[in-house]
A and B are shown apart, each in its own frame.
Chain A
Amino acid sequence: MRPIEYASPRTKEQAVRLLASTWGETAVLAGGTDLLSLLKDDVIAPRRLVNIKEIEELRGIAFDPRKGLRLGALVTIEELLDDPRVRQHYSALAEAAEGIRSPQIRNMGTVGGDLCQRPRCWYFRAGFGLLARDAQGRSLVLHGDNRYHAILGNEGPAYFVSPSSLAPPLIAYEARLRLFGPGGTREMPVQAFFRIPQSEEEREHDLRPNEIVTEILIPPPRGEASATYEVRQREALDWPLATASVALQMDGDRVTAARIVMGHVAPIPWLSPEAAQTLVNKTITEDVAQAAGEAAVRRARSLGRNGYKIQLARVAVKRAILRAVQGGAR
């Protein structure tokens, strides 16, 4: 790794003062599992690291049945997984946390870091930029190895997939995110934090270079049936190929409203109102879940070598719905 400056502030005000106002100059260090890989591979070469792990107010899980769940950005994946209140009230979130491998990564990685980690696109990791273009400006993805690239939201110029495991369930629960920067606090739905970059100067997050994620706020449980289902190549040490998180508001056996979000299929976590709409006023059966899966991928398209992911996403949606109503049964 290259020599670098290091600062370890105690407050979020100090932290944002240490961060530069342009990308590339400085980087935020929390769990470090993604950042150190990016530094070692020379994908980024900032002049200074700002360690935010000593900022006490970014820690902690708080739950109140009337206010909901508050996760500090520094809560580790293992802390999230070990919290019985999370498992009881927000099973889709607990199941997604379980999918983050390995145990060592879960001990280090943080909730804020899961949302801010950079895409796994192998062109990006090899230094060809977020949009992976050649010297003539043509997409390397469209003419190259796109087995793991997007099947939705892939009209271009971005073809990578969002790597976040926790964003799909957080969006299903309509969670909000708080950021802190020189101008103070900004709050937005988690969904609005993610965006599809249109140029190499843009990022996949609505995060400014001198802002940090401070906390995540999830609304109180409304008795919804929820679950996450992941399809993966390997059980250990890998990112999933396609995932779905669902949150269903129920009146007895009948679905009154639904949120369905797919992960690892598009440059952003992919909310599917089309799939959700098919469930309204229905009782969940295998056929109903299957129809929602069909609706979720109706607009999906293969880039050449990733067509198989359309079937995986369809199945992930179907199985997440069935798991939600079966109370988390596998």
Chain B
Amino acid sequence: MDKQLITLRVNGEVHELAIPVHKTLLEVLREDLHLTGTKHGCELGECGTCTVLVDGQPVLSCLALAVEWQHRDIVTVEGLADGPRPHPLQQAFAELGAAQCGYCIPGTLLTAKALLDHNPRPTRQEIKEALSGNLCRCTGYIKIIEAVERAAQRMAAQTAFAESAAR
């Protein structure tokens, strides 16, 4: 099986890897980089649990070959926390029990992060639409939506505080 050398930038770290070109980004993240936070789900683009961010946009790592995404900024759930400090979304999900069984949550967190980065004050409808590609089979969507709302409020308050401190 022919391998190809590729360079991937994941969570700010640059990795050089020798991989067969038919490996998906999901497989390379999990099997070669041992970043097992990103989950295998339907493998056909229907469930969203394999979502990662590429240049800030949610994409499905199961439908992408790793070789296609070289030199782009890839963020997985492992890159969400700021050192020991969880991301406000992670904090809110933990507080509200929104993680539930947890399987869809890495993808959900990243999709929610992309939403809040572009739209810090989303309406409930906007949250629902943004997360419509992330299926939760615990079907506890209400907690997930409430956690995104709580994180958005906190992040907005932190931004306001930082801005007033800077003045």
Interface, chain A (partner B; CB < 8 A): 1-6, 8, 29, 32-33, 36-37, 39-41, 49, 51, 53, 78, 101-105, 107-108, 235-237
Asked whether B109 is an interface residue with its Cβ less than 8 Å from the other chain, the reply is: no
Contacting pair B24 A1 (CB below 8 A): yes
Render B8-35 as a binary contact track against A, CB cut-off 8 A, 1 for contact: 0000000000001111100000000000
- Are B43 and A40 touching (Cβ within 8 A)? yes
Which residues on the A side are within 8 Å of B48 (C-beta)? 102, 104
> Does the CB pair A108–B64 fall under 8 Å?
yes
Q: Are B132 and A102 in contact, CB atoms less than 8 angstroms apart? A: yes
Residues of B within 8 A of A6 (CB): 4, 21, 65, 67
B51 close to A104 (CB less than 8 A)? yes
Tally A-B pairs: CB < 8 A.
84
Chain A residues near B46: list those with CB within 8 A. Answer: 237
Query: Known interface pairs A2-B22, A6-B4, A37-B44. Does A104 touch B68 (Cβ–Cβ under 8 Å)?
Result: no
Q: Give the interface centre of A3, A32, A33, A104 by most chain B CB atoms within 10 Å.
A: A104
Write out the residue numbers on chain A whose beta carbons fall within 8 Å of the beta carbon of B57: 78, 107
Give how many B residues have a beta carbon under 8 Å from the other chain's beta carbons: 31
Give the complex CA separation of A29 and B63 in angstroms. Answer: 11
- Interface residue from B22, B60, B64 paired with A1 (Cβ < 8 Å): B22
Let me know if B82 is at the binding interface, CB within 8 A.
Answer: no
B98 within 8 A of A: no
Point out the residues of chain B lying under 8 angstroms from A5, CB to CB: 2, 21
Chain B nearest CB from A276 CB (Å) reads: 33
Q: Chain B contacts of A32 at CB under 8 A?
A: 63-65, 68
